Amino acid sequence: MKNAFYLLLSFVFLLGSCTSVRVLSDYDKEVDFNGYKTYAFYRTGIDKAQISDLDKKRILRAVEREMSQKGYVKSKTPDLLVSIFTKEREQVDVYRNAGFMYGWSPYYWGWGWGPGFYGDQVSVSTEGSLYIDLLDAKKKELVWQGKGVGTLSETSNIEKKEERINEFVAKIMTQYPPGQEGE
* Residue 7, domain member (yes or no): yes
Task: Tell me, yes or no, whether 120 lies in a domain.
Answer: no
Q: Residues of 4-30 as b/e, b for ≥16 C-beta within 10 angstroms?
A: eeebbbbbbbbbbbeeebebebebeee
Would you tell me how many other CB atoms lie within 10 Å of the CB of residue 114? Answer: 12
What pLDDT, in 10s, does the model give residues 146-179? Answer: 999 987 666 788 898 899 899 999 999 999 999 8
Residue 117 lies in a domain: no
Average pLDDT rounded to a whole number, residues 119-128: 72
Q: Which residues span the domain enclosing 23?
A: 2-91+125-173
Residue 102 lies in a domain: no
Give dist(CA 148, CA 89) in Å, integer.
13
**Total tally of structural domains belonging to the chain:** 1
Q: Dihedral sign, CA of 47, 51, 54, 58?
A: negative
CA distance 62 to 134: 15
Question: What's the average model confidence in pLDDT over 70-74?
Answer: 98
Residue range 13-58, pLDDT digits in tens: 444 444 689 999 999 999 999 999 999 999 988 998 888 899 899 9
The answer to whether residue 53 is domain-embedded is yes
- Per-residue pLDDT, averaged over 92-99, amounts to 67
CATH at 18 = 3.30.160.670
- CB contact set of 125 (below 8 Å; sequence gap of 6+): 90, 91, 93, 151, 152
Q: Please report, rounded to a whole number, the percentage of residues in the chain having pLDDT higher than 70.
A: 69
Could you give the CA distance from residue 14 to residue 38 in angstroms, rounded to a whole number? 30
Residue 178 within any structural domain of the chain: no
CA angle 111, 115, 120 (to 5 degrees): 120
Give the gyration radius of the chain's Cα atoms: 23
Asked if residue 31 belongs to a domain, the reply is yes
Q: Rounded to two decimals, what is the model's pTM?
A: 0.71
Residue 30 counted as domain residue: yes
Is residue 10 within 8 Å of 155, Cβ to Cβ? no
